Amino acid sequence: MVGVGAMTDVESPVVLVVDDNEAIANTYTAFLSEKFAVRTAYSGPEALDLLDESVEVVLLDRRMPELSGDAVLETIEERDLNCRIVMLTAVDPDFDIVEMGIDAYLVKPIERGELNDLVDEMLERSAYDDEFREFLALASKKAAIEAEMGSEALAESDEYERINRRLAERREEIGGDLADLESEFVHVETDFQSAADGDTDEE
């Protein structure tokens, strides 16, 4: 079954919610339907059926039967669709997320206001050039990893060092002082993680 959420008007940005837990998917759809045109898929194959060039933001669960979020992500990349992708999942982040073609990685649960703010942020990023979007995505992934792992583990990690080097290279390419922007990502990701820690994990 594929659901399509209500929409405010035909010009509303299109958001695709993908989660095999129908209660969670329907909740996210309800959260977003006042502002956005929401399509709702309860499996990976259903998500691919609903994906087209009109979709601007995808909220993608990672752990799904039949076709995982990682596999859906690969197909989005193969189709060369120009949409912002957020992995919104119960799977804790690891260094493997750095190479994923996603704009952000967040651990469930998420509240209504946070979810709407997240989609707004993704829509804003769509207006940026590829270089700046890559920087923002990398900063978001770095913040997600920092929220999950302790400072000692990070200090001993070659992967974390490589992330910092890549960010430094992007800063140099873009130019300007981006420290405040990166600090904002750390704050936002930590807020999401704190909310998740206060609730039971969802799949």
- What are the two backbone dihedrals, phi and then psi, of residue 38, each rounded to the nearest 5 degrees? -110, 130
Instruction: Give the closest residue to 93 by CA, choosing from 121, 62, 119.
Output: 62
Q: Average of pLDDT values for 50-75?
A: 97
Q: How confident is the model at residue 38 (pLDDT cuts 50, 70, 90)?
A: very high
Report pLDDT for 7: 42
Number of folded domains in the chain? Answer: 1
Domain region containing 57:
2-197
Tens digits of residue pLDDT in 2-19 = 454 444 445 899 999 999
Q: What is the largest CA-CA distance in the chain?
A: 51
Report pLDDT for 151: 87
- Residue 62: give its domain's CATH number: 3.40.50.2300
Answer yes or no: is 21 within a domain. yes
Give the Cα separation of 140 and 1 in Å (integer): 33
Report pLDDT for 3: 53
Q: How confident is the model at residue 176 (pLDDT cuts 50, 70, 90)?
A: low
Give the Cα separation of 72 and 17 in Å (integer): 12
Give the Cα separation of 115 and 32 in Å (integer): 8
Average pLDDT, rounded, for the chain: 85
Answer yes or no: is 28 within a domain. yes
Tens digits of residue pLDDT in 101-130 = 999 999 999 999 999 999 999 999 999 888
Answer yes or no: is 202 within a domain. no
**CA torsion angle 72 73 79 83 (round to 10):** 120
